[in-house]
């Protein structure tokens, strides 16, 4: 009996000197399309317990930037959990052109597995070339740790869950997964799908949380260059109906997906998974990755200066607050590490720039226009006799895939075609730079933008010629886009809070690829292989 007091004294002593117990739960929150600028501009309108909880209790890095060229959802979610860029993890884009199959493929397509909860091509992390921080955690604990990724997008959930975790994502009105992860949907997921949660928003109205602040901060609500979003219209109030106000049609789910209500559903799914899987309460560290896609859909359609983006950020702030409160009740925030970041920012809508700053050069170019330019350049140079110039097989984002068969039939060496196109694009508006794949493979010789392209490059998946647009130019015919190595796309929040983190504001230059090695260090597990990111030592106790 005498030993009891000394045992408690030892526990008290260890607690006092700060011998760290491993955290019970790591929560990685990725806000899809969320430039750091949103935090700067909108913080005065946040509540106490959402972003401000993280900013006050955590380490906030005010200069976190991606260093690669092509900022897209899939490559950057892979980077968040592997700690490296596309040239090592292999996920170069959301879609790339498969030269053998002669078709565009989704980065998480997997013909060897089947969908659970829907039909169509199976999905898995098969194309991800490296293990993630979550995989390393499971390796260390003999698969005792659970690693779960959820999102409204397949790529975000799948890539964050890594090779050995479990991913669930939302397709229209159904939470789905694939046979890569399990044989059938768990009963609690099927129950979630049957609960009516996807239908309960039909006819509801998305109104502004803080219209006075929006009027002060944002562009006019009815800007003609907003693309409006699927079934939503351009101005508040947005009624969530779709194209038939009498009944639910597929277009309703499109409208729901483009509204803040879809993030409410995602976090409700998060709570269901939490309860069913007992995350963070099983005596071993678990990891929960949440990819909130709503800001991406709204940001593309309405642009970063819109009423809709401001309102969605305020609603996201409230959603985070209630989720943190849920975590506190079930696991205790002191037992968690929360890391929040984003996959990319967003360019202002070019027409908005032209309106507010007529002297600034801004604009857009579509994939078809790039293809037309490339065909013209190569036809002129090589005087092709073919009546239909088919030099280009495909343009996806900033990757141009040449038509090797056609070029060969004209007896033109493919290298010559690549080089001519590359050198010509460099002189044509609105291209800022262009590189051929042989050049990118010799990364040492490249200039600053070329080195960024090299970090995005993976031989079997990238184009033959890759370009970068001039600042304030975007790809696509409407709304706005991301995918260029400029500050509005690369600069994102990086905030970590919880056990072992030293609160503060850190202005040194860091990158979201530092999150994976920093989590590994805190968890005392091996880094994911081929680490490029650094441990954020300055923010550790």
Q: Which residues bind Zn ion (CB under 5 A)?
A: 296
- Distance in Å, CB of 343 to Zn ion, minimum: 8
Q: What is the H or E stretch that residue 238 is in?
A: strand 238-239
CB of 483 to Zn ion, least distance (A): 8
Q: Report the nearest approach of Zn ion to the CB of residue 278 (Å).
A: 34
Nearer to Zn ion, 342 or 375 (CB): 342
Taking the least distance from each CB to Zn ion, the nearer of 255 and 347 is 347
Alpha carbon separation from 451 to 151, 448, 457 (Å, rounded):
31, 5, 10
Least gap, CB of 89 to Zn ion (angstroms): 19
Q: For Zn ion, give the closer residue by CB, 286 or 296.
A: 296
Whether the link from the prior residue into 495 is cis, omega within 30° of 0, is no
Is the separation of the CB atoms in 116 and 185 below 8 Å? yes
Q: Least distance to Zn ion from the beta carbon of 83, Å?
A: 22
Closest-CB residue for Zn ion?
A: 296
Prior bond of 188 cis (ω within 30°): no
To the nearest whole angstrom, how small is the minimum distance from the Cβ of residue 296 to Zn ion? 4
Nearer to Zn ion, 110 or 296 (CB): 296
Q: Which is nearer to Zn ion, 145 or 156 (CB)?
A: 156
Quote the least distance from Cβ 33 to Zn ion, whole Å.
5
Toward Zn ion, which CB reaches closer, 73 or 497? 73
> In which region does residue 472 sit, left (phi positive, over 0), alpha (psi from -120 to 50) or beta (all else)?
left
Q: Exposure pattern of 484-515 as b/e (b: 16+ CB <10 Å)?
A: bbbebbbbbbbbbbbbbbeeeebeeebbbbbb
Q: At what angle do helices 414-425 and 367-382 cross, to 10 degrees?
A: 120
- Report, in Å, the least distance between residue 71 CB and Zn ion: 9
Whichever of 171 and 296 has its CB closer to Zn ion, that residue is: 296
Contacts of 351 (CB under 8 A, 6+ apart): 224, 225, 362
Least distance to Zn ion from the beta carbon of 300, Å? 6
Taking alpha carbons only, the member of 465, 475, 482 closest to residue 97 is: 465
Give me Rg for the CA atoms of the chain.
24
Distance of alpha carbon 55 from alpha carbon 46, whole angstroms: 11
C-alpha 147/C-alpha 137 separation (Å) is 9
Which one, 37 or 277, has the nearer CB to Zn ion?
Answer: 37
CB of 189 to Zn ion, least distance (A): 26
C-beta of 343 vs 393, nearer to Zn ion: 343
Q: Within 10 A of 413 (CB to CB), how many other CB atoms are there?
A: 10
**CB of residue 512 vs Zn ion: minimum separation in angstroms?**
16
Cα three-residue angle 313-315-320, rounded to 5 degrees: 95
The residue with tokens 């401001």 is: 310
In the complex, minimum distance from the CB of residue 346 to Zn ion, in angstroms, rounded to a whole number:
8
Distance between CA atoms of residues 146 and 133, nearest Å: 12
CB of 366 to Zn ion, least distance (A): 16
Cα 49 to chain center, whole Å?
24
For residues 218-249, one letter each, b for 16 or more C-beta atoms within 10 angstroms of the residue's C-beta and e for the rest, the string is bbebebebbbbbbbbebebebbbbbeeeeebb
Say if CB 83 and CB 514 are below 8 A apart: yes
Find, among 259, 341, 324, the residue nearest to 32 by Cα: 341
Of 298, 327, 337, the residue nearest 49 (C-alpha): 327
Nearer Cβ to Zn ion (108/536): 108
Instruction: Return the DSSP state at 501.
Output: B
Q: Which is nearer to Zn ion, 153 or 307 (CB)?
A: 153
**Residue closer to Zn ion, measured from CB, 493 or 528:** 493
What 3-state DSSP class applies to 163?
A: coil
Cβ nearer to Zn ion, comparing 296 with 393: 296
Which distant-in-sequence residues (6+ apart) come within 8 Å of 136 by Cβ? 520, 525, 526, 527, 528
């Amino acid at each position: 009996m005498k030993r009891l007091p000394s045992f408690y004294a030892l526990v008290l002593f260890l607690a006092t000197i700060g011998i760290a117990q491993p955290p019970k739960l790591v929560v990685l929150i990725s806000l899809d399309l969320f430039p750091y600028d949103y935090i700067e501009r909108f913080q005065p309108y946040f509540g106490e317990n959402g972003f401000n909880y993280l900013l006050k209790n955590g380490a906030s890095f005010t200069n976190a930037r991606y260093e690669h060229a092509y900022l897209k959802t899939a490559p950057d979610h892979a980077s968040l959990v592997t700690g490296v860029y596309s040239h090592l993890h292999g996920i170069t884009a959301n879609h790339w052109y498969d030269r053998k199959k002669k078709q565009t493929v989704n980065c998480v397509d997997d013909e060897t597995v089947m969908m659970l909860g829907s039909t169509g091509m199976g999905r898995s992390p098969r194309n991800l070339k490296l293990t993630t921080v979550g995989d390393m955690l499971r390796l260390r604990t003999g698969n005792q740790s659970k690693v779960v990724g959820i999102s409204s997008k397949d790529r975000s959930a799948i890539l964050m869950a890594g090779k050995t975790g479990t991913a669930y994502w939302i397709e229209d009105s159904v939470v789905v997964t694939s046979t890569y992860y399990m044989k059938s949907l768990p009963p609690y997921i099927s129950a979630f799908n049957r609960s009516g949660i996807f239908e309960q928003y039909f006819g509801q109205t998305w109104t502004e949380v803080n219209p006075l602040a929006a009027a002060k901060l944002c562009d006019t609500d009815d800007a003609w260059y907003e693309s409006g979003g699927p079934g939503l219209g351009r101005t508040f109030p947005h009624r969530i109906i779709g194209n038939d106000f009498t009944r639910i049609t597929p277009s309703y789910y499109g409208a729901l997906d483009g509204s803040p209500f879809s993030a409410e559903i995602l976090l409700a799914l998060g709570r269901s998974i939490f309860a069913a899987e007992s995350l963070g309460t099983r005596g071993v560290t678990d990891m929960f990755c949440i990819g909130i896609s709503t800001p991406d859909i709204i940001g593309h359609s309405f642009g970063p200066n819109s009423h809709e983006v401001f309102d969605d950020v305020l609603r996201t702030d409230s959603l985070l607050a209630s989720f943190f409160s849920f975590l506190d009740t079930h696991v205790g925030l002191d037992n968690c590490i929360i890391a929040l970041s984003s996959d990319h920012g967003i360019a202002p809508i070019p027409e908005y720039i032209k309106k507010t700053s007529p002297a600034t050069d801004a604009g857009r170019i579509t994939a078809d226009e790039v293809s037309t330019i490339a065909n013209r350049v190569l036809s002129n140079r090589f005087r092709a006799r073919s009546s239909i110039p088919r030099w280009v097989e495909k343009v996806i984002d900033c990757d141009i895939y040449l038509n090797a068969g056609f070029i060969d039939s004209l007896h033109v060496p493919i290298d010559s075609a690549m080089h001519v196109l590359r050198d010509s694009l460099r002189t044509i508006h609105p291209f800022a730079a262009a590189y051929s794949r042989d050049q990118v493979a010799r990364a040492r010789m490249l200039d600053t933008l070329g080195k960024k392209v090299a970090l995005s490059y993976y031989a079997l998946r990238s184009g033959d010629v890759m370009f970068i647009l001039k600042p304030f130019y975007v790809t696509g015919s409407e709304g706005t886009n991301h995918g260029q190595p400029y500050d509005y796309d690369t600069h994102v929040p990086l905030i970590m809070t919880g056990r072992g983190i030293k609160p503060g504001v850190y202005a040194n230059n860091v990158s979201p690829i530092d999150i994976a090695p920093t989590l590994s260090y805190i968890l005392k597990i091996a880094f994911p292989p081929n680490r490029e990111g650094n441990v954020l030592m300055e923010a550790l106790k």
